[in-house]
């Protein structure tokens, strides 16, 4: 038997058990009671830290480290969005979703393959006075630093004149009593060096020119609510080929004007009647009367003397901006402005058709709805331009009030409405400035906006000028465009009202 080690207080249970070779497990020690630890242990004294540029902080910031996959991050911090766009291009303002700067570079986005950006076109929607034109001007101005040149195709309210003035360029004004003439049936650069072209190239260019002209004549005739069927198309096509000398295999095509086309349709020769397979001259005249009358409006009507003579405007492609002002036509009504825009459109296309690679341009169509209202063919013409932009390095900028402007061109299910809907998809970048609730619903329906995006448009963007929801492909940004002191004078279109208000 073991000698027990007694104590004054007697033997404990563990000792007694040990006598029988049992080992009791050791009694766990009660955890030492920790004083409630101060999470900010080393506080800084009342006088802060000493040292150069040490500043003063009551506590050192506790740094917490978490590890997770990027997929989980979205769940843990749902309110932070990354800025997925590169920072190249025109620096426009602040993106309130990411907190970072927002820069617009539609061609860069297209080339980088930003999700959903398949073309560099942009469409701006917004209620009047929300800052659409201002944003477009700042975009164009800031892109100039990257070598972009701007063409304003139809400045209806002379809004771009201050910008042109600041860049030392005089806008070309079109209107009665002014020397500027624009021939919508201009060859543009396509007519250059015709004699030295190979036969195949000459034919390719001729096809482009005739196709553009037919589209234009269709648009002009359609704007008078006259239908332009295949028979009329054959007749106009034949006349254009005859008058230019293409039918005779001329080396150099002659320039045509609308009055020449009109005269040729009024006095058809036997060859023409035959070529169009009419029974006789009268049959030809009866069949093309509506087309002649519609064209006659441009020759003898209220637009006479504007688009019916060879072009006198010299577009200087080296200049940073060129603008065609239509403000003098405003008193003639929306339709006159619309017809003028259609002519300018066709002419602008001729001018941009043979762009050199790397020649970067921005083509601005402000107040575009005036043209869209003219009918299906006007819509088709815009559609054709937007489709081309990927090939010719142009950023086409379309400015409108609301999507239904584009949809008023025909009955709800008509072809025009279908094309107008497509137009929205031909502009990969959509910039939605402030709108009323009602139009917000319309936008959501057409563009598939999420409820949050719709609220940005109807609440946040409507609360300040220059605010917009930018939909760049599938990327969304909530941008406040920031005006610098340089931009203030260039974007202020409220001059007329403020000056009125200043009067005693």
Ligand X SMILES: Nc1ncnc2c1ncn2[C@@H]1O[C@H](COP(=O)(O)OP(=O)(O)O)[C@@H](O)[C@H]1O
Residues making contact with Mg ion (CB under 5 A):
133
Is residue 493 within the footprint of ligand X (CB under 6 A)? yes
Q: Distance (Å, rounded) from C-alpha 303 to C-alpha 221?
A: 14
**Cα–Cα distance list, 167 to 92, 123, 291, 323, 324 (Å):** 19, 25, 42, 12, 15
Looking only at the bridges linking them, the beta strands covering 149-155 and 361-365 are: parallel
Q: Where are the strands (E) in 96-166, listed by range?
A: 101-104, 122-125, 149-155
Q: Using CB atoms, what's the residue nearest to Mg ion?
A: 133
To the nearest whole angstrom, how small is the minimum distance from the Cβ of residue 457 to ligand X?
14
Nearer to ligand X, 416 or 469 (CB): 469
To the nearest whole angstrom, how small is the minimum distance from the Cβ of residue 366 to Mg ion?
6
- By a kind-dependent CB cut-off of 5 to 8 A, residue 465 interacts, out of ligand X, Mg ion, none, with ligand X
Is residue 126 within the footprint of ligand X (CB under 6 A)? yes
User: Which residue, among 43, 349, 58, 18, has the nearest Cα to 208 in the 3D structure?
Assistant: 349
Nearer to ligand X, 128 or 451 (CB): 128
To the nearest whole angstrom, how small is the minimum distance from the Cβ of residue 62 to ligand X?
40
Residue 361 structure tokens: 């341009």
Taking residues 428 to 467 in sequence order and writing x for each that binds ligand X by CB under 6 A, - otherwise, the string is: -------------------------------------xx-
356 burial level (CB within 10 Å; 0-12, 13-18, 19+): exposed
Number of residues that bind ligand X (CB under 6 A): 16
Nearer to Mg ion, 127 or 166 (CB): 127
Q: Using CB atoms, what's the residue nearest to ligand X?
A: 466
384 contacts 218 by C-beta, under 8 angstroms: no
With CB under 6 A as the contact rule, the residue among 6, 30, 128, 230 that binds ligand X is 128
Pick the piece of the chain touching ligand X (CB under 6 A) from 43-51, 124-132, 221-229, 420-428: 124-132
- By a kind-dependent CB cut-off of 5 to 8 A, residue 475 interacts, out of ligand X, Mg ion, none, with none
With CB under 6 A as the contact rule, the residue among 89, 106, 120, 131 that binds ligand X is 131
- By a kind-dependent CB cut-off of 5 to 8 A, residue 292 interacts, out of Mg ion, ligand X, none, with none
Nearer to ligand X, 132 or 380 (CB): 132
Is residue 475 within the footprint of ligand X (CB under 6 A)? no
**What is the strand order of the sheet 467-472 is part of?**
101-104, 90-95, 475-481, 467-472, 429-433, 122-125, 394-400, 361-365, 149-155, 321-325, 172-173
Is residue 134 within the footprint of ligand X (CB under 6 A)? yes
194 burial level (CB within 10 Å; 0-12, 13-18, 19+): middle
- By a kind-dependent CB cut-off of 5 to 8 A, residue 238 interacts, out of ligand X, Mg ion, none, with none
Query: How far from the centroid of its chain's Cα atoms is residue 173's Cα?
Result: 25
Alpha helices in 130-179 (DSSP H): 132-143, 161-166
Q: Distance (Å, rounded) from C-alpha 308 to C-alpha 295?
A: 10
* Contact residues: ligand X, CB under 6 A: 126, 128-134, 465-466, 481, 483, 491-494
């Amino acid at each position: 038997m073991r000698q027990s080690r007694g104590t004054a207080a007697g033997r404990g249970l563990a000792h007694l058990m040990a006598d029988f070779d049992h080992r009791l497990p050791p009694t766990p020690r009660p955890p030492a009671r920790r004083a409630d630890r101060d999470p900010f242990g080393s506080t800084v004294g009342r006088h802060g830290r000493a040292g150069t540029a040490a500043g003063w902080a009551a506590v050192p910031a506790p740094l917490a480290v978490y590890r997770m996959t990027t997929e989980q991050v979205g769940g843990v911090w749902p309110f932070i969005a990354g800025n997925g766009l590169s920072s190249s291009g025109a620096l426009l303002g602040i993106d309130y979703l990411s907190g970072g700067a927002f820069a617009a570079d539609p061609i860069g986005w297209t080339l980088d393959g930003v999700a959903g950006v398949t073309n560099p076109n942009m469409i701006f929607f917004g209620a009047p006075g929300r800052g659409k034109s201002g944003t477009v001007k700042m975009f164009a101005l800031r892109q100039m630093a990257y070598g972009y040149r701007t063409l304003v195709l139809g400045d209806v309210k002379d809004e771009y004149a201050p910008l042109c003035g600041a860049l030392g360029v005089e806008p070309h004004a079109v209107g009665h009593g002014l020397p500027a003439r624009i021939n919508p049936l201009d060859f543009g650069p396509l007519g250059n060096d015709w004699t030295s072209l190979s036969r195949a190239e000459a034919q390719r260019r001729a096809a482009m020119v005739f196709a553009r002209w037919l589209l234009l004549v269709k648009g002009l005739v359609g704007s008078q609510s006259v239908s332009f069927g295949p028979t009329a198309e054959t007749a106009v096509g034949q006349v254009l080929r005859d008058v230019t000398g293409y039918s005779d295999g001329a080396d150099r095509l002659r320039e045509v004007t609308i009055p020449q086309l009109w005269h040729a349709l009024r006095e058809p020769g036997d060859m023409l009647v035959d070529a169009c397979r009419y029974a006789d001259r009268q049959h030809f005249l009866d069949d093309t009367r509506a087309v002649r009358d519609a064209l006659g409006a441009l020759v003898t009507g209220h637009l006479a003397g504007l688009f019916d003579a060879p072009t006198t405007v010299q577009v200087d492609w080296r200049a940073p901006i060129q603008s065609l002002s239509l403000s003098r036509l405003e008193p003639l009504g929306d339709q006159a402005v619309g017809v003028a825009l259609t002519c300018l459109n066709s002419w602008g296309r001729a001018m941009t058709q043979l762009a050199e690679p790397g020649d970067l341009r921005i083509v601005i169509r402000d107040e575009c709805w005036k043209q869209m209202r003219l009918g299906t063919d006007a819509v088709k013409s815009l559609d054709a331009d937007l489709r081309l932009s990927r090939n010719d390095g142009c950023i086409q900028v379309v400015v409108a009030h609301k999507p239904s402007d584009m949809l008023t061109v025909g009955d709800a299910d008509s072809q025009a409405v279908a094309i107008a809907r497509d137009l929205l998809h031909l502009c990969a970048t959509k910039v939605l400035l402030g709108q009323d609730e009602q139009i917000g619903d319309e936008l959501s329906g057409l563009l598939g906006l999420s409820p949050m995006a719709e609220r940005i448009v109807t609440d946040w963007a409507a609360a300040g000028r220059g605010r917009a929801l930018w939909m760049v492909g599938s990327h969304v940004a909530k941008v406040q465009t920031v005006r610098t002191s340089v931009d203030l004078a260039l974007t202020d279109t409220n001059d007329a009202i403020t000056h009125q208000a200043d009067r005693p």
